[in-house]
A and B are shown apart, each in its own frame.
Chain A
Amino acid sequence: MSTTATLLRGPRGGVLALETIGAWLLALLWILPLVYAFWTAFHPSEFSTRFVLSAPWTLDNFVKAWHAAPFARYFVNTVALVTMILAAQLVLVTLAAYAFARFDFPGRGVLFALVLVQLMVMPDVLIVENYRTMTFLGLKDTLLAIGLPYMASAFGIFLLRQTFKTVPHELDEAARVEGCGPLATLWKVYVPLARPTYIAYALVSISYHWNNFLWPLIITNSPESRPVTVGLQVFSATDQGIDWSIITAATLLSVAPLLVAFLLFQRQFVQSFMRAGIR
């Protein structure tokens, strides 16, 4: 890639230096909120707005935050929620994408259009009616209620259908000759070949649902079913007597698993988001 840049006239030394400074300034601005959060969370509260190098480091804020709200329970809920949604999505999306990619049947166009509707009208905006439905089903305040509207994912069906379409027909036919039925062919030929797409989709799905907030806020009202995002909001909204250092510590706690995973598998994350973006 660097060859293309050198081929073209410019950037000359001065321009490149300016651009480098600009890029770095923007990057620093972009991570400033995180750096600031780290500072506040790891220092006693009297240093939360005073930046002196001699400030003592402490883990007290994390300990206090952990004991002030049932964060352990919130984490268990979020992990269970994200796992449940992803597992259901993988099964449903695989079956549907296979049908759309490799079967010819009446109504295919209409049904596919009906799937695509969800790309625009996401469950996030249908909160009033979905709340009504969940009340009717008696599922209010459960993890299942948070997850159900997202399990049939139009985005996933679309993404996987594109991948399945690139599988050579010869492989498909070879499996049939071996005596495989449709499901066996799907399992033995298509699923293994679509591995990178599955990883990409899984990462996007996990970060989306780990971070999701409004619908879980509406449909839950007890610590037993709250995911960590809602737990964090409930914790920081009751602001009597809780100081900023503790709220920041709680904030970092709640993003820590995702942030650590991201920092460890940075390349994989970025590649996955890229792959999910190229449709």
Chain B
Amino acid sequence: MQTRTWITAWLLLLPAMALLALFTHYPAIANLFHSFYSTPKGARPVVFIGLDNYRNLVEDPIFWQALRNNLIYAVGTIPLSIALALLMAVWVNGRIAGKGFLRLAYFTPTILPMIAVANIWLFFYTPEYGLIEQVSRSLGFPSHNWLGSQSTALLCVMIVAVWKEAGFFMIFYLAALQSMSPSLAEAAAIEGASRWYYFRRVTFPLLMPVTLFVLVNAVINAFRVVDHIVVMTRGGPDNATELLLYYIYEIGFRFWDSAYAAALTMVLLVLLGLAALAQFAFLERRTHYR
């Protein structure tokens, strides 16, 4: 009888596990394996080259730049989008006029494809004709090629990322705020607490699990979403907006060096693995509440 239950459970899991194994577990392992081999080129067969791909990687300045850019990108976008998300959620949950419209406006970027909105932003940044140029010119500032200059290109794509993500994260905060017991606010009111004090000492600590959840998601997204790079800069100018996954895409599918791309992917997997460990540590702690 018990064995029959086991078999039923395994059969229920079989289709999903098979696909997961084929397209998640196998590629992760195969990727490690292939990173120790050379890329087949024409008649040259694949040979085992040990750590050569990794040696190339350590000596590749573009890789280091992509990694550095990606870290700047993460550090620059994540705290800002989380802070904005929290602010939006508090506003939309409060008693501000036109809440329906505000929520709609904040959330809309979430459901639009990154590729499409990047097209629109591209035009914002366009030299001469773009909206930003027009505004800055009418204010008397000199002309500036926002996406074309190394000093501002990364900043430009970061702004797009913040704009796209803040409303998405707002939803999680809003859900948590709405499920918060009103008796807390009543108690605080009796104590005569100010709104800012209440937010700092009650709301924000209670939102901590949401913040951590959003944080992990934001970290993953910072390494996973490069659609806007494809549209807006293609990693340029002079690698100023090269992000890790975009570099993998370039190496793997424009230069067709799949072995080197595999080594680069390993770096990305390690970074995501670290994020996973952080989340598991956090889940462990959260189980105390359940």
Taking Cβ atoms with an 8 Å cutoff, the residues of A that contact B are 1-11, 16, 19-20, 22-24, 26-28, 30-31, 33-34, 36-37, 40, 48-49, 91-93, 95-96, 98-100, 103-106, 108, 111, 114-115, 117-133, 148-149, 151-152, 154, 157, 182, 207, 210-211, 213-214, 217-218, 229, 232-233, 236, 244, 247-248, 251, 254-255, 258-259, 262-263, 266, 269-270, 273-275, 277-279
Is A128 touching B265 in the complex (CB atoms < 8 A)?
yes
Closest residue to A2 on the B side, CB-wise? Answer: B95
Is B175 touching A274 in the complex (CB atoms < 8 A)?
yes
A-B contact pairs, 13 of them (CB 8 A): A1-B95, A1-B182, A24-B98, A95-B15, A96-B16, A120-B273, A120-B279, A126-B24, A152-B20, A154-B20, A229-B115, A248-B120, A273-B110
Given contacts A213-B115, A270-B171, contact A128 B262 (CB under 8 A): yes
- Contact indicator per residue, chain B 233-256, by CB within 8 Å of chain A (1) or not (0): 000000000000100110011000
For A151, list chain B residues within 8 Å (CB). Answer: 19
Closest residue to A113 on the B side, CB-wise? Answer: B280
For A262, list chain B residues within 8 Å (CB). Answer: 108, 111
C-alpha spacing A82/B175, complex, angstroms: 27
Indicate whether B66 reaches chain A with its CB closer than 8 angstroms. Answer: no
For A214, list chain B residues within 8 Å (CB). Answer: 226-227, 230, 245, 249
Given contacts A8-B185, A233-B230, contact A277 B172 (CB under 8 A): yes
C-alpha spacing A120/B18, complex, angstroms: 18
Is A24 touching B108 in the complex (CB atoms < 8 A)?
no
Partner among B105, B213, B279 whose Cβ is within 8 Å of the Cβ of A30? B105
Is A123 touching B24 in the complex (CB atoms < 8 A)?
yes
The smallest beta-carbon distance between A51 and chain B, in angstroms, is 9
Closest residue to A103 on the B side, CB-wise? Answer: B9
- Contact indicator per residue, chain B 215-240, by CB within 8 Å of chain A (1) or not (0): 00000100110110011000000000
For A251, list chain B residues within 8 Å (CB). Answer: 116, 119-120
Is A233 touching B115 in the complex (CB atoms < 8 A)?
yes
Is B105 touching A96 in the complex (CB atoms < 8 A)?
no
Q: From residue 51 to 84 of chain B, which have CB atoms closer than 8 A to chain A? A: 84
Q: How large is the interface on B (under 10, 10 to 19, 20 to 34, 35 or more residues)?
A: 35 or more
Interface of A is mostly: helix
The smallest beta-carbon distance between A91 and chain B, in angstroms, is 8
C-alpha spacing A32/B30, complex, angstroms: 45
Is B13 touching A121 in the complex (CB atoms < 8 A)?
no
Partner among B6, B18, B84, B113 whose Cβ is within 8 Å of the Cβ of A105? B6
Given contacts A8-B188, A129-B27, A133-B22, contact A236 B97 (CB under 8 A): no
For A211, list chain B residues within 8 Å (CB). Answer: 111-115
Closest residue to A99 on the B side, CB-wise? Answer: B12
Given contacts A103-B12, A105-B6, A106-B6, contact A23 B193 (CB under 8 A): no
The smallest beta-carbon distance between A201 and chain B, in angstroms, is 14
Known interface pairs A125-B223, A232-B116; 7 further A-B residue pairs with C-beta atoms within 8 A, sorted by A's residue number: A1-B178, A6-B95, A33-B120, A49-B130, A96-B12, A129-B30, A248-B123
The smallest beta-carbon distance between B145 and chain A, in angstroms, is 16
Is B119 touching A92 in the complex (CB atoms < 8 A)?
no
Is A9 touching B193 in the complex (CB atoms < 8 A)?
yes
Indicate whether B88 reaches chain A with its CB closer than 8 angstroms. Answer: yes
For B120, list chain A residues within 8 Å (CB). Answer: 33-34, 36-37, 248, 251
For B188, list chain A residues within 8 Å (CB). Answer: 8
Given contacts A9-B195, A30-B108, contact A125 B245 (CB under 8 A): yes
For A120, list chain B residues within 8 Å (CB). Answer: 220, 272-273, 275-276, 279
**Which of B8, B262, B275 has the largest number of chain A CB atoms within 10 A?**
B8
